[in-house]
Amino acid sequence: MTDLYIGLMSGTSVDALDIALCRFSPRLEIVATAEYPFPLDLRKRINQACNDRPMLLDDLLSLQQDYTSFCADATNQFAQQHSQTEHARAIGFHGQTLRHRPDLGASLQMANPSLLAERTGIDVIADFRSRDLAAGGEGAPLVPAFHQHLVRDLERPLAILNLGGIANLSLFTTSGSVLGFDTGPANTLMDLWIGQHLAKDYDAGGEWAATGSVNPKLLDNLLTEPYFHRSAPKSTGRELFNLKWLSKHLEQYPQLSPADVQRTLLELTAISVTRSLSTGVKQLIVCGGGAQNSLLIERFTQILPDTQVQLSDDLGWPSSHLEAVAFAWLAQQHLLRQPGNLAEVTGAKGARILGAHFPA
């Protein structure tokens, strides 16, 4: 029972904490998963911090304590519902990304792993990105190393697409090489836009986008963003793709309806992802919250008629919790003293053991 690990993940969408209890030997077994939505006030405060609003240091410290306390309460509630959790060797704690600046060699994941270890009684592995950044890497994406573990028995070439706030791809070629990078926005711009106009957290199934039409001129304008044309390794976040960025592009199109903008943002995700795929990819496995956007999935199948597009759920990998599983795996890698990054993905000088250990 001591080969169990817990993964905690809250992503760019800042909607909920995902928890996964897993073991990885002899092969992946996802024992239990759960999702704990953030209270509205906590989510609002996290978004304010992510949106570069001025904050007092005391307010940032208070937010970190409240965020970690929420994570501890959720983990303890999860443990009460799943007795196997008491045998977990460690928690892989990603924390909440507030700022990602690989150009500065830095990334800020808000977390207090010592408090989490104290409150749960379980060892915590955290701060996964810093070592890769110190070695000259982007610090992201980290999940391709885990995806490589997942697909070892699948036929190549194939790709795994994670649709969180930001979209990231893991590409596995017939030669055995692995590529991985952030393609650009997935849900983040659509979530921000529907929040501004309909006061909703997200566009369920792409239903609102489906009432609008793609504006080709706006789409072409959005695609001029230099990030889309950069070579990998590369990673991004809300530091770039935010409402300020979108508003700048919308200045030339004051007559567009909000629904048309939403539909165009969905198309931006579809195009930026599919243009990033290597030719000949026969299978695209989709995970993340955006996997539930049926209109977006439909666009992938239309743009890629020769590629099998399927949700990770079809393979027994829960699409909404696969990133949490990835950070459970990274916790295991740390304790086994095994690398957690892929240098060819992040651009680091080499493979590195990621994370820091906070004993209970």
What is the rounded distance in angstroms from the CA atom of residue 78 to the CA atom of residue 70?
Answer: 12
How does residue 2 score in pLDDT terms, banded at 50, 70 and 90?
low
For residue 178 the two structure tokens come to 């692995």
Average pLDDT over residues 342-355: 97
96: helix, coil or strand? strand
Position 172 pLDDT exceeds 80: yes
The length of the chain in residues reads 360
Q: What percent of the chain has pLDDT over 90?
A: 92
Question: According to the model, what pLDDT value does residue 279 have?
Answer: 74
Q: How far is CA 118 from CA 20, 53, 311, 331, in A?
A: 20, 31, 37, 17
Ordered domains of the chain (ranges, CATH): 5-138+320-358 (3.30.420.40), 143-315 (3.30.420.40)
Average pLDDT, integer, range 307-313: 96
Q: What is the mean pLDDT of the chain?
A: 95
**Does the pLDDT of residue 284 top 50, yes or no?**
yes
Per DSSP, the three-state class of 86 is helix
In the structure, what pLDDT confidence band is assigned to residue 51 with cuts at 50, 70 and 90? confident
Q: What is the pTM of this model?
A: 0.93
Please report which confidence band the pLDDT of residue 1 belongs to, taking 50, 70 and 90 as the band edges. Answer: very low
Alpha-carbon dihedral angle through residues 148, 149, 150, 155, given to the nearest 10 degrees: 60
Residue 180 has pLDDT above 90, yes or no: yes
| Residue 123 reports pLDDT greater than 60 | yes
* 304: nearest Cα among 279, 329, 335, 269: 279
Determine the Cα–Cα distance for residues 289 and 225; give it in Å rounded to an integer.
Answer: 24
Which residues 6+ apart lie within 8 Å of 336 measured at CB? none
Assess whether pLDDT exceeds 50 at residue 258.
Answer: yes
